[in-house]
Amino acid sequence: MHFLFVLGCLFIQACAWAVTDPLPSWNEGPIKSGIIQFVKETTTKGEKNYVPPEERIATFDQDGTLWVEQPLYTQFLFAIDRVKILAPEHPEWKDQEPFKSILHTPAGEVPSFKGLPNHNMKNIELILAITHSGMTVDEFHDMICQWLKVTVHPRFKKPFTDLVYQPMLEVLQFFEDNDFKNYIVSGGGQEFMRCYADRVYHVPPERVIGTANKVKYEYRNEQPILLKTPKLLFVDDLKGKPESINLFIGRRPVASFGNSDGDRQMLEWTQAGKGKNFELLVHHDDAVREYAYDNDSKVGTFSASLMEEAKKRGWFVVSMKNDWKVIFPWEKDKRQ
């Protein structure tokens, strides 16, 4: 009786795999098949590549992997708006870079100033330190939530939380349905992403790892607070990603998803683990529906050396143009 019951369960599961399409926004091909096959092999008992639920860790970069990162990272656009709000308190900024270029940019346009966003980390850190400190963690969260409600993307004219990639939302849901623990591991600000990750990606704040500044425990009106300071705690990018994964998760991922040079080490670390693993990079090659950029972009650089390494190591490289039926959730009716 027990044998027949198990056999029946396996038959039902096999039918479910055959009938349902967990990735309807993906075009048929080796990448879609590879994702489905990986999940099937690692979650089916009896398969040689079976992975116990407690070891099913998947890590996802955010900017350029889960949502739009052009023309500038969303968090940096927030920082730019904060500079404009704080400018009246700092009249000296009108003659000081990098603030001068921000303040002299016409309303509605994205600043294009030297050294930013990637070449001059000193300027980036200065802007982020000034605009992301001096308030409590709760006040910062409220500030982000309000900004996301009223701010739209300069090209798509939609809220940034609408600019998530529908195919990747399906991957997140597919993994979650099969008892994977999804983590966001991003160079973006940890507290910034925690404001919306649960609502947008169904990833709870305790599974969001990002670049973080130090906070200070203090008292305000006899109540304890955590005050955000301008001092950098760690940068969750490049080598910092596997380091933070070890620090916060304590397990090596069996699947990792990225889109740029900043994700290289995370994918390498995943592949170096024992057993079955899966690595994927999103390549932005669709200028009509989104953006086309790679080696020469200062935002989300996908270098020629990364592409070469991906081919050498057998990582999947998504062509947004060819592999995705739709890009954004509001396009779901175009999938047919």
Q: Alpha-carbon distance 124 to 131, whole Å? A: 11
Instruction: Give the 3-state secondary structure of residue 189.
Output: strand
Average pLDDT over every residue of 136-149: 97
Between 6 and 282, where is the model more confident? 282
- Average pLDDT over the chain, rounded to whole? 91
Structure tokens of 160?
């940034």
Q: Alpha-carbon distance 62 to 203, whole Å? A: 12
Q: Give the pLDDT of residue 287.
A: 97
Q: Give the pLDDT of residue 118.
A: 43
Q: Give the pLDDT of residue 108.
A: 66
Q: Alpha-carbon distance 323 to 317, whole Å? A: 10
Q: What is the domain partition of the chain in residue ranges?
A: 2-70+165-220+233-334, 74-150
State the fold for domain 2-70+165-220+233-334.
Answer: Rossmann fold (3.40.50)
Confidence category of residue 243, pLDDT binned at 50, 70, 90: very high
> How do residues 194-218 score in pLDDT, each as one tens digit?
999 999 999 999 999 999 999 999 9
Residue 187 confidence (pLDDT) above 50: yes
Between 245 and 122, where is the model more confident? 245
Residue 122 confidence (pLDDT) above 70: yes
Q: Give the pLDDT of residue 116.
A: 53
Lowest mean pLDDT among 76-85, 242-251, 319-328: 76-85
| pTM for the model | 0.91
Q: Give the pLDDT of residue 80.
A: 92
Cβ atoms of residues 193 and 208 within 8 Å: yes
Structure tokens of 273?
């683990």
Q: Give the pLDDT of residue 115.
A: 46
Of the candidates 235, 289, 281, the residue with the CA atom closest to the CA atom of residue 65: 281
Average pLDDT over every residue of 25-49: 97
Average pLDDT over every residue of 162-180: 98
Q: Alpha-carbon distance 34 to 29, whole Å? A: 8
